[in-house]
Amino acid sequence: MATYSSAIRGWWGLWLAGVLGAALVPAMLRGADPADDAAPAAPAADAQAGAQQVDLFEGMRNGDLAVHFVPKDSRQARVTIENKTQKPLTVKLPEAFAGVPVLAQNGNGNGNNNNNNNRNQGMGGGMGGMGGMGMGGMMYIAPEKTEAFKVPTVCLEHGKTEPHPTVPYTIEPIESFTDRPAVQELCRMLGQGKINQRVAQAAAWHLSNDMSWQQLATKQQRRAGGGTSPYFTPAEIQAAMQLATTAIQGAQARKPAVASPAGSTAAK
């Protein structure tokens, strides 16, 4: 009975803290993390006009582009894109992507990569707000030149070791890593700079790894000086709950309308 009462008091305190911090939730939801790298300078209009457009992943497959993905930690990664051709290219950046350790196998379609031989987490993010042409998601790269920029990320496999710069990663379409539409939508939102990274991380573990809000609220992290502290604040959990709902609704809105037996259309 004492344990049950303690749990009730703990959740009452979390709820109260969330209510008192409700004014902070809109700010928490927004992307409040400062950009570390300035966007590449926009090229001259005549250079843009003569550039061939290529999709990032298609360019990787056909050898026009060499792309390197290096995680700084769980929150951020550095992307370098080299134009291997002798002609200017306009690269269409992905709205969402996955960063996967090179030794990992493809995701199992259940929201995460479940290869137990790989100890580092897969990551997710987006590039919809990137680009050096004044257009979100598009980047001009001169012949035989390289552009580099940083992207916000979240981990998608709770329980595995955090990403590290010494561990080789590759970048893949988010659909090849997870078939959960809400996770894909969350990565798009993160790439557009619409949401705070820490709030996105809590929502990502909930949506990708089925962690309950109670598990996330009681998750602890070790402090450098010893001891532990909550991994997320009550305000971050409150904002993450709203964000997860928004991601689910956004994913549902992207579903195409399908014809019903009667000939009408309905979104599923």
CB 108 within 8 A of CB 172: no
- Would the pLDDT of 203 be above 80? yes
| Cβ(74)–Cβ(162) below 8 Å | yes
Higher per-residue confidence, 130 vs 74: 74
Predicted TM-score (pTM) of this structure: 0.77
What value does the mean pLDDT take over residues 185-190?
A: 97
**Dihedral sign, CA of 170, 111, 241, 164?**
negative
Per-residue model confidence as pLDDT tens digits over 62-73 = 999 999 999 999
For 125-171, the pLDDT digits (tens) are 999 876 544 446 899 999 999 999 999 999 999 999 999 999 999 99
pLDDT digits (tens, 9 = 90+) for 19-34: 445 445 565 566 655 4
Q: What is the pLDDT of residues 235-251, one digit of tens each?
A: 999 999 999 999 999 99
Question: β-strand 52-55 against 89-92: which pairing, if any?
Answer: parallel
pLDDT, mean over the chain: 81
Q: Could you tell me whether strands 76-83 and 65-71 are parallel, antiparallel, or unpaired per DSSP bridges?
A: antiparallel
| Res 265 pLDDT > 60 | no
Written as six digits, the tokens of 169 are 């990663």
Q: How far is CA 237 from the centre of its chain?
A: 17
Percent of the chain with pLDDT over 70: 69
Measured between its terminal Cα atoms, the distance across the chain in Å is 45
Q: Largest Cα–Cα distance in the chain?
A: 75
Question: How high is the pLDDT of residue 141?
Answer: 96
